[in-house]
Amino acid sequence: MDRPLRIAFVSEHASPVALLGSQDAGGQNVYVDEVSRSLAQLGHTVDVFTRRDDPDAPEIVEWSPGVRVINLRAGPAEFVVKDALWPLMPAFRDAFLEFAHRDGAQYDALHGNFWMSGWVVAELGRLLALPVVHIFHAMGKTKQLHQGLADTSPDGRIEVEVGVIRDVDRLIAQCPSERDELVADYGADPSKVVLIPSAVNIERFRPVPRTEARRRIGLRTDELIIAYIGRMMPRKDVRNLVRAAALLAQDVDVPFSVLLVGGETHEPDPVSTPEIGVLQQLAAELGIADRVRFVGKRQPDLLRDYYSAGDVVVTTPWYEPFGLTPLEGMACGRPVIGSAVGGITFTIEDEVTGLLVPPRDPEALAGALRRLLTDPQLREQMGLAARARVEREFTWSTVARRTAELYQSLVPSAAPGEAQAGGMLLASEREG
């Protein structure tokens, strides 16, 4: 029988404690939170190592049964944008070693998240002779391709990624397109790449009757609603949705509005979230300001009402490594229109759980919206299929089980303690 394991999750900028939806907080935070807690529910123990970005943050947070969040000192105890964290990674690595030695922690495996933590876990795996699993969440070459001059990644990111791919024991790909990137673009050994799709919390994100959801959040019940829930940033291309809505308004004689949920503050603020200002101006220029309703940031436990209030959920980024919001909309029983990029082509089953459209194509999006908004039977059918697909393929318990099986394949099968007699000694000290 597989024994319980102790895993060190390393996620330099994305802590489960962080508020979701704010700057540099998003899908990776959700992944780290959900997978660590789900692994603990299987009987494993997880320490999540992240960088301390608040002087008042304690070193250790007892996050949930079996999960601790460890805030390591590396650089100033203040928020630093993730692309500026790379020079702090040697200090982050050393802080991990110092904590593990002082705490007496004995880990069975390391699990890195994002490219900078990939460098850290590759270093730690070599120093501590521990197996290393890594997930990138986003790849530098793809980001560079799609963002061009807007890519703020530090110099050397791609070279670091190549080294991580070479040095770690296994790589997790969240979708087939990411697996293809690793193999084709980076020359990863295909036998090192394991496909483990990410997921959604199906208890938190669940269908709510549309009228009830709208009543809770103060929306009218006599119009169709197109919902976008997510981060307000250019690559999410909410502008595409606003442009499509303007085309739709000229083409259909049905009352509809666009609900935009997200931003840096609870109330929509174009100063704190410049993209909101861009979208407000665009809606005014296109003559549909009265149809677009902005809602600020909302916490995860409230989002199911916003998804469920919609008749259709839309997410059409022009770059998206995986994308959790389509799964959240599907879990809430709504058809999702998504751009045919990255992981969205994997999560949305075209013509079954929603529709795929080309990115940056408001005419195609308007056509897909027209089709769904004028066919309530199709919306209902796709919504039911969407929830069923999520329950079948995209739950965090499934992700945790597959991830634990991956760890077990790399960890010696000795009884607890036998394979770790050296504790956190460096590999060179063990050999000596």
Is residue 61 assigned to a domain?
yes
Nearest to 315 by CA among 208, 237, 232: 237
Q: What are φ and ψ of residue 21, in 5° steps? A: 90, -5
What average pLDDT does this structure show over 296-323? 93
8 Å CB contact between 113 and 172: no
pLDDT tens-digit series, residues 200-253: 999 999 999 999 999 999 998 889 999 999 999 999 999 999 999 999 999 888
Is residue 204 assigned to a domain?
no
Q: Based on the fold, state whether residues 389 and 407 are members of the same structural domain.
A: no
Exposed e or buried b per residue across 389-414, where buried means at least 16 C-beta atoms within 10 angstroms of its C-beta: bbeeebbbeebbeebbebbeeebeee
Is residue 314 assigned to a domain?
yes
Q: Based on the fold, state whether residues 159 and 298 are members of the same structural domain.
A: no
* 62-71, 151-160, 354-363, range with the lowest pLDDT: 151-160
CATH number at 365 reads 3.40.50.2000
* 41-45, 53-57, 406-410, range with the lowest pLDDT: 53-57
Q: Based on the fold, state whether residues 380 and 401 are members of the same structural domain.
A: no
Greater confidence (425 vs 307) lies with 307
Greater confidence (426 vs 191) lies with 191
- Check residue 153 and give its pLDDT: 78
| Pair type for strands 60-64 and 67-72 | antiparallel
What average pLDDT does this structure show over 35-40? 98
Exposed e or buried b per residue across 16-46, where buried means at least 16 C-beta atoms within 10 angstroms of its C-beta: bbbebbbebbbbbbbbbbbbbbbbbeeebbb
Q: For residues 274 and 313, give the distance between their C-alpha atoms in angstroms, rounded to a whole number.
A: 23
Whether 428 has a pLDDT exceeding 50, the answer reads no
Q: Based on the fold, state whether residues 275 and 294 are members of the same structural domain.
A: yes
In which domain, by residue range, is 84 found? 6-199+395-431
pLDDT tens-digit series, residues 178-193: 999 999 999 999 999 9
Q: Based on the fold, state whether residues 66 and 96 are members of the same structural domain.
A: yes
Helix (H, G, I), strand (E, B) or coil at 203: coil
Is residue 163 assigned to a domain?
yes
Is residue 277 assigned to a domain?
yes
Sign of the dihedral through C-alpha 33, 227, 206, 304: positive
- Check residue 23 and give its pLDDT: 53
Nearest to 297 by CA among 334, 264, 254: 264
Is residue 240 assigned to a domain?
yes
Is residue 150 assigned to a domain?
yes
- Check residue 426 and give its pLDDT: 59
Q: Based on the fold, state whether residues 220 and 181 are members of the same structural domain.
A: no
Greater confidence (20 vs 88) lies with 88
Q: Based on the fold, state whether residues 387 and 399 are members of the same structural domain.
A: no
State the total domains in the chain. Answer: 2
pLDDT tens-digit series, residues 81-111: 888 999 999 999 999 999 999 999 999 999 9
Q: Based on the fold, state whether residues 160 and 222 are members of the same structural domain.
A: no
Q: Based on the fold, state whether residues 377 and 409 are members of the same structural domain.
A: no
Q: Based on the fold, state whether residues 82 and 55 are members of the same structural domain.
A: yes
Q: Based on the fold, state whether residues 222 and 265 are members of the same structural domain.
A: yes
- Confidence band, pLDDT 50/70/90 cuts, at residue 431: very low
Q: Based on the fold, state whether residues 39 and 182 are members of the same structural domain.
A: yes
Highest-pLDDT range among 342-346, 357-361, 423-427: 357-361
Greater confidence (341 vs 424) lies with 341
- Check residue 418 and give its pLDDT: 43
Distance of CA 377 to the CA centre of its chain: 31
Is residue 345 assigned to a domain?
yes
